[in-house]
Structure formats: structure tokens, C-alpha cells
Amino acid sequence: MSLENTLEETALTFADLGLNPDVLQAVQDAGYVHPTPIQAQAIPLALEGRDLIGLAQTGTGKTAAFALPILNQLTGGPHRARALILTPTRELCVQVEENFRKYAERSGLKTLAVYGGVALEPQTKALRKGIDIVIATPGRLLDHIERQNVVFDDLEILVLDEADRMLDMGFAPQINRVVAEIPKYRQTMLFSATMPPEVEALSRKYLRKPHVIQVGRRSMAATGVTHAVYPVPRIRKTQLLTELLKNKEMDSVLIFTRTKHGADRVVRDLRQAGIQATAMHGDKTQKERTRALDDFKDGTMRVLVATDVAQRGLDVTGITHVINFDVPQEPEDYVHRIGRTGRAESSGDAYTLMSPDEIAMVRTIERVIGQEIPRISVPGYDFGTTAA
Ligand code: AMP
């Protein structure tokens, strides 16, 4: 099921979901015509004040699924922190805040992204002035809570976004400490691409009789994406990558490696081959990451090399190709990575370079996504089609 298809399938309008005129206007300004399935299901329940679990990955329109009902509920009132969205990464934090800001333009509500790796002071000032909706990574938010820069006594709605990834990244203790600071009587929404036991335990702890919504199960995240696997010996991956990048139709290419070190090495090798590229991963400073992303977004840099953690929450429209330099270790990561291309209503190609030791992992991914990925044999590179 692709987002494009599901958008076509959803005959509803946003007005059918019970949103107020200001929010409907914001949706119209954003150019959305029909709600996506996660929006169609989540918005009416969220407006009723229900707790909910949304099993949906990035690319399904999940951000608006919680942002719109929150804005609907918070119109008017004092600028006290009344909604909190916790996100795993700085990039997702910034992206979610951008979404809120876009939809909140007419509402007078104030939003702020709170994340680490940058100076505390500007965030402190903004928080002390009064913010309605705080979007934060857990660690930095705790710094502000400890300094009493923000108080959550008036909090009405809590969202745990990409809960599986937050737990993967070891944020459970920080989440617990944050939740201890906010009122028990609140609405809580949890969004997650997957539902491992840890996420289930988290939802049992913090949600009341949640309604579970699931979209796009066992299906690809994105629209119109053409998948292909290139069998190639590990030591020849860079050469094949260089060959593939000669294709001028590859306007904007996001390459994934398993490790930070691997990302740096790919950038170095590509530069040696005369291809400009930049890396984005957790060892880079916030300034470097923002710069890399900006250059990639405005087209100055055609090739961005990233690790999985760094790519979560990237909202870069117009990515024409995703290349998995390494086969992802988790099938969910494959879906997330591919979700970078072909986001809402565009299309793209997703290539995976597969060395012999990665054949089993590709097969697992195929089982999970419920489709076979075609193999493309490049003469001189393929290690033998029969092996794949
Ligand atoms: P998300 O899954 O929240 O990251 O959203 C994926 C992309 O879809 C974002 O670029 C949104 O701006 C876009 N989007 C969200 N809802 C809709 C909609 N109802 N119609 C068209 N595009 C949408």
C-alpha cells in the first residue's frame, strides 16, 4: 500500500473529521485535499480526547495526525506549555516543529523545538516567555526542567513520537523522568513504526485504554518507489556506487551506511572519484548536520551519506534516489530508509548494494515487506546471479 494509493482511496475531506475552521484553513493552506488513512482514523479519536497508539511510519502523514487535533484543542488561552511532543532525534524534532508552525500560523499558538547540541540560552528565553507546544528530545528537555525553565502543570496532551526509536536509543529513563513531571490527567498519544514488547510496556504504563490504529501493515512506506538489489562483492561496492552515480537523473541521492565510520569512508571515496558528497551522522556537530542538510535540501549538494539514526525524521522533498550501501540490519530500517524517497506524491528509486554475506538479510527484508525485490546484474560487478 503506498501513500499515493491510500491518498486516492481516502474519499473523506478534513471537514468530515470534525476540525474547526481555523485548522481546516491551515490544512487548505498546506495544500492537503484528503486525509491519509492514519489521519482519517486518528483525528476524530484524538478530538474526543482518547488516548491512542498509532502504528505508522514516517511518510504516512502521522505528524499531521496528531498536530491538527492538538491545534484544534489548544486555540486561545495563556501561553503555557499545554502540549508536549517527545521525539528521538534533533532532526525529527525540528521537522515536527516546522509542521506545527506551518499549521499554527493563524492560531496565535507558540511552538518551540528543544534539542541538544546547541546553546541552552535561546531555548531558555523562549520557554520563559511562554510556549504552547513544546517539541523536544528527552535529554535536553530534562536540562530545562531541572533549571525550571519550563513547568508542565498545565499540560493537556503528551505525544511520544517514534516511540520504538526512542527506546532503541536508550531514552526510557529520560522519558520516565519527563512523564513524572507532567499531570496524570492528560491525553497521551504514542506513535511507533513497530510494536516490540518494550513499546507495549511503555504504552501500558502511560496510556489509558488506548485505541490502536494501524496503517500500512506489512507494506512499503512509500509511493511509486522502484526497488532493486545489486549483487556485488563488498570490496567493489564503492566502484559500483560511483558507476551508478554517473546517471545524471540522480538529482538528489541519499546513501545509507551502517556505521558513522562507513559514512565517512564513502564520502572520502566518492570525493576521490570526483563526486561531491557530505556525511551526516551522530559524530557531526549540530552546526555541521544543519549545514549538510541545508546544502542537500537546496540542491547545492547532490549526495548525502547518512546512518540510520541520523536519517530519522529527515523531511527532504525531491529525493530521487535512496541507495543502501549496506543492507539494513533491521527490516524496519529498510522501510524507514525507503520512506525518504517517494514521500507523499513523488516517486523515487531505491537501490540496495548486496554483498554475498548480506543475501540472508535481504531475504528477511523481502519476507517482512511482503514483496520480492528485483535483482539487477551489472556485468563485471555481479558475484553470480545464482547466488542471489
Ligand atoms: P509524515 O509521515 O508526517 O512525515 O508526513 C509525510 C509527508 O506527507 C509530509 O511531507 C507531509 O507534509 C505530507 N502530508 C501529510 N498529510 C498529507 C495529506 N493529507 N495530503 C498530502 N500530503 C500530506
Cβ–ligand 1 contact at 343 (below 6 Å): yes
What domains sit in the chain, N to C, each tagged with a CATH number?
A: 14-215 (3.40.50.300), 225-369 (3.40.50.300)
Cβ–ligand 1 contact at 216 (below 6 Å): no
Dihedral pair phi/psi, residue 191, rounded to 5°: -120, 140
Cα of 279 from ligand 1 centre, angstroms: 26
Cα of 266 from ligand 1 centre, angstroms: 31
DSSP state of 375: B
For a pocket test of ligand 1, which of 315, 336, 341 has the largest count of ligand atoms closer than 8 A to its C-beta?
A: 315
Cβ–ligand 1 contact at 111 (below 6 Å): no
Cα of 358 from ligand 1 centre, angstroms: 33
What is the chain's pLDDT, residue by residue, as a tens digit (388 residues)?
Answer: 333 333 334 678 899 999 999 999 999 999 998 898 899 999 999 999 999 999 888 888 999 999 999 999 998 778 899 999 999 999 999 999 999 999 999 888 999 999 999 999 999 999 999 999 999 999 999 999 999 999 999 999 999 999 999 998 899 999 999 999 999 999 999 999 888 888 889 999 999 999 998 875 333 444 456 788 999 999 999 999 999 998 877 888 999 999 999 999 999 999 999 999 999 887 888 888 888 888 888 888 999 999 876 666 566 666 788 899 999 988 877 877 776 554 434 456 889 999 999 999 999 888 877 778 888 888 888 886 444 3
CA neighbor of 197 nearest in space, from 222, 216, 172: 172
Cα of 199 from ligand 1 centre, angstroms: 24
For a pocket test of ligand 1, which of 8, 36, 165 has the largest count of ligand atoms closer than 8 A to its C-beta?
A: 36
Dihedral pair phi/psi, residue 369, rounded to 5°: -80, -10
Cβ–ligand 1 contact at 35 (below 6 Å): yes
Segment (H or E) for 255: strand 253-256
Cα of 344 from ligand 1 centre, angstroms: 6
Which amino acid type is present at position 311? Q
What HEC string does 238-298 produce? HHHHHHHHCCCCCCCEEEECCCHHHHHHHHHHHHHCCCCCEEECCCCCHHHHHHHHHHHHC
Beta bridge partners of 280: 306
Cβ–ligand 1 contact at 192 (below 6 Å): no
- CA 168 – CA 385 distance, rounded (Å): 36
Cα of 321 from ligand 1 centre, angstroms: 19
- pTM (whole model) above 0.75: no
Residue of the CA atom closest to atom 21 of ligand 1: 32
Cα of 125 from ligand 1 centre, angstroms: 31
Cβ–ligand 1 contact at 62 (below 6 Å): yes
